[in-house]
Structure 1
């Protein structure tokens, strides 16, 4: 097993609500892109063995070259495991010719009920070496903050 990156956050919403936000095309387009990016889903099949393709576009690509082009990251994501409302495991492959971003990264999203809502833990395994650890963990934390805002507004 290669490198492992992690991030987590408590979200003020029940696990079923948080889980549902990972299996809704429109919600993913809103909250999954980290700060400084926007996302568009091109293909959508929300079932085990299915998946989606997301095009992430840098709002300002200066100094942050994309993996697929100067301004974009294209990632094909497969749903490896769906265990409502406890876990979503995804296999992500970047569209790139750069071998430092090659391979399949697994993203496991785990949800545990707490008194405050849901503790969400994201574990990325087999992270390609071209992805900077600090930037990746900050990106996951940013997506988690976006997820929290999205589901907490919907719940409130």
Structure 2
């Protein structure tokens, strides 16, 4: 059975600014890692059919929460659709030996103009069963909070997680 997780957040920034942060390498590295993680992009090809490889390191790897290794999640992300300034669709594959993380998850980032800002809705479909729903939704919400801080100018040019 497939699972879909969905999280939304209103951001006090233009739709163009939000979309730009969704498709810019440096911006993604700054805001995308959820709380408790640091990330780096190893490969970058920002076009439909292109994508990127993201390495996420846990700041505290006690208990071995990582999917790729005890302290790391590695994902290959393909851009399935880029429709400025409203939609980014990604196909995400985890690098993991555990079959509970197998398969391709689709992440749809939709940007809708709302009341002087932008509502960003992230819909993750075909979520691998090894990913806990509450943890996943909390991670998406954390990334959206970092995105908001980044595009609202509180974190522009620097990681919202600090140095």
* Fold similarity call, TM over 0.5: yes
Q: State the Cα distance separating 1:43 from its structure 2 match.
A: 0.1
Which secondary structure state, in structure 2, belongs to the residue aligned with residue 135 of structure 1?
A: helix
Look up the SS of the partner of 2:152 in the other structure.
Answer: helix
How far apart are 1:64 and its partner, in Å?
Answer: 4.9
Partner of 1:42: 42
Aligned counterpart, 1:106: 106
Cα displacement (A) at 1:62: 1.4
* Structure 2: 5+ residue stretches without partners: 157-163
Q: Secondary structure at the match of 2:29?
A: helix
Measure the CA separation in 2 of the matches of 1:19 and 1:64: 34
CA RMSD in angstroms, aligned pairs only: 0.9
Q: 2:160: which partner in 1? A: none
Give the TM-score normalised by the residue count of structure 1.
0.97
Q: Which runs of 5+ in 1 are unaligned?
A: none
Match runs of 1:133-144 below 5 Å: 133-144=133-144
Shift of 1:145: 0.1
1:57, 1:36 → 2: CA distance? 9
Q: Secondary structure at the match of 1:63?
A: coil
Residues 44-91 of structure 1 show CA distances to partners (whole Å, capped at 9, x for unaligned) of 000000000000000001135200000000000000000101100000
Cα distance in 2, alignment partners of residues 133 and 147 from structure 1: 21
Aligned residues: 154
- 1:72 and 2:77 correspond: no
**Aligned counterparts, 1:106-125, within 5 A:** 106-125=106-125
Aligned to 1:88: 88
Give 2:24's aligned residue.
24
Runs ≥4 residues deviating over 4 A: none
